[in-house]
């Protein structure tokens, strides 16, 4: 038996033993090997019917009554509570709405405001809610640290937030955050980090980095776009202050589905949003000229929620309700899939034609594999023509995302085989 035949047979055995294999049938799929769920998740099969009900009955028949009778008004908190266990949070701390970019802005500005308030008060303002040290009387918190390798929009938003709050923006690599904080952490107000690097798939050490931020008396803001729904996050367990994430990747909420904002319970009474819209008012229908924030995570809301995409997301989250479908099970399969893909690439692709940028260590790997190769843009076009869909990031990176709910081991073997044929053809 050739190595290629052996790996194909192993893939069949792994698929037959996969405890999540049945979940694949809950998605709309075809003969394409779809490895781009880290950009846009596949469509859960029951979502179109649910959206049709929202459009035809809730909107078409009930109309304005649906804000109450169909639960539209409370959807941002209700769906936030559906997402909360997927990111390791108790109920009442996640609200859904707006885009990731808007939520990054809200979270980062609010974090700086709290840090500067701590310094002005000369007390540990974070203390009543949990962890971290105080800054002492008169301390000036006028610096924001941002992941130097961040997704561009996070950097743009961080720069704007810094200008708005009178801070200096300091880009640093995630691994350098502890030393940067040791250097002048008494000036740091907030640190914005990505849990998983969007280019390489590297998983950063959320517990250790959060602890380092807290030890400096600053606030930790995490972007979970490439981790939520793919691996354990542990927001409550690790004392994360604020977090944001999108829902159209591993949560399969659909193109442009709304993002979410996590505000740790102990900080909610201090969360001062830079976008105080009427939906976050304590009396939204009081129509008062002065703003009074609502209690709890509702403070993270701004304007009228996007009901169609919001309820499509709610329907998509039903796939997590199945027996045996858990973040732990998804993570175990994710690691097995990416391990197997790397094995197949190593066996099929000639040496020197593709280099993995994704860490081999499980503790440092998200749910994607990034390969560097010459002519990556053209290679990806040819892969897509042959029915293997990943994506390309300039100048030379092929990205393959593995969504364990619907990607199987035969998909993985086929992708590596077609890649090898494309590179040598």
Nearest to 36 by CA among 376, 361, 409, 370: 370
Separation CA 228–CA 177 (nearest Å): 22
Rg over CA atoms, the chain: 23
Task: State both tokens at 249.
Answer: 């990747």
Q: Are 202 and 364 in contact, with CB atoms under 8 Å apart?
A: yes
* DSSP one-letter code for 204: P
Cis peptide, bond prior to residue 395, ω within 30 of zero: yes
Q: 135 vs 119, 121, 146, 215, 226, CA distance in Å?
A: 6, 9, 20, 10, 32
Q: Which residues are catalytic?
A: 151, 223, 248-249, 399
361 CB-near residues (< 8 Å, 6+ apart): none
**Beta strands in 16-64, from DSSP E residues, in sequence order:** 33-34
CA dihedral 116, 122, 125, 128 (to 10 degrees): 180
Q: 390 vs 73, 171, 335, 367, 393, CA distance in Å?
A: 37, 29, 18, 13, 10
Q: Are 10 and 408 in contact, with CB atoms under 8 Å apart?
A: no
Q: Is 344 helix (H, G, I), strand (E, B) or coil?
A: helix
Which helix (DSSP H) or strand (DSSP E) does residue 45 occupy? none
Separation CA 424–CA 412 (nearest Å): 19
* 278 φ/ψ angles, rounded to the nearest 5 degrees: -65, -25
């Amino acid at each position: 038996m050739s190595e290629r035949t052996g790996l194909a047979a192993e893939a069949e055995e792994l698929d037959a033993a996969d405890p999540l294999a049945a979940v694949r049938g809950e998605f709309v799929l075809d003969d394409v090997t779809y490895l781009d769920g880290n950009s846009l998740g596949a469509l859960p099969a029951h979502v179109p019917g649910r959206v049709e009900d929202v459009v035809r009955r809730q909107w078409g028949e009930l109309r304005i009554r649906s804000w109450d009778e169909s639960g539209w008004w409370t959807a941002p908190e209700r769906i936030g509570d559906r997402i909360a266990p997927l990111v390791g949070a108790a109920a009442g701390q996640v609200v859904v709405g707006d885009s990731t970019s808007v939520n990054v802005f809200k979270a980062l500005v609010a974090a700086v405001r709290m840090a500067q308030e701590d310094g002005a008060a000369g007390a540990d303002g974070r203390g009543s809610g949990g962890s971290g040290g105080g800054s002492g009387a008169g301390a000036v918190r006028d610096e924001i640290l941002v992941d130097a390798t961040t997704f561009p929009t996070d950097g743009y938003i961080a720069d704007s937030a810094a200008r708005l709050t009178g801070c200096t923006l300091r880009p640093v690599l995630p691994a350098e955050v502890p030393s940067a904080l040791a250097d002048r952490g008494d000036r740091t107000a907030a640190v914005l980090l990505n849990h998983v690097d969007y280019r390489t798939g590297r998983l950063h050490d959320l517990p250790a980095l959060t602890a380092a931020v807290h030890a400096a008396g600053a606030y930790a803001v995490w972007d979970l776009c490439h981790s939520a729904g793919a691996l354990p996050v542990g927001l409550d367990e690790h004392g994360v202050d604020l977090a944001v994430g999108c829902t159209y990747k591993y949560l399969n909420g659909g193109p442009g589905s709304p993002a979410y904002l996590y505000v740790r319970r102990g900080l909610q009474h201090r969360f001062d949003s830079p976008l105080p819209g009427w939906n976050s008012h304590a009396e939204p229908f009081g129509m008062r000229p002065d703003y009074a924030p609502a209690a709890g995570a509702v403070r993270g809301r701004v304007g009228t929620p996007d009901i169609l995409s919001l309820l499509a997301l709610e329907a998509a989250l039903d796939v997590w309700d199945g027996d045996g479908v858990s973040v732990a099970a998804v993570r175990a399969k994710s690691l097995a899939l990416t391990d197997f893909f790397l094995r197949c690439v190593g066996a099929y692709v000639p040496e020197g034609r593709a280099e993995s940028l994704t860490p081999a260590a499980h503790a440092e790997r998200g749910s994607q594999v990034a390969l560097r190769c010459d002519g990556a843009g053209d290679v990806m076009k040819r892969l897509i023509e042959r029915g293997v869909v990943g994506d390309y990031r300039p100048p030379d990176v092929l990205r393959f995302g593995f969504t364990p709910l619907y990607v199987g081991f035969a998909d993985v073997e086929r992708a590596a085989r077609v890649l090898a044929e494309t590179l040598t053809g």
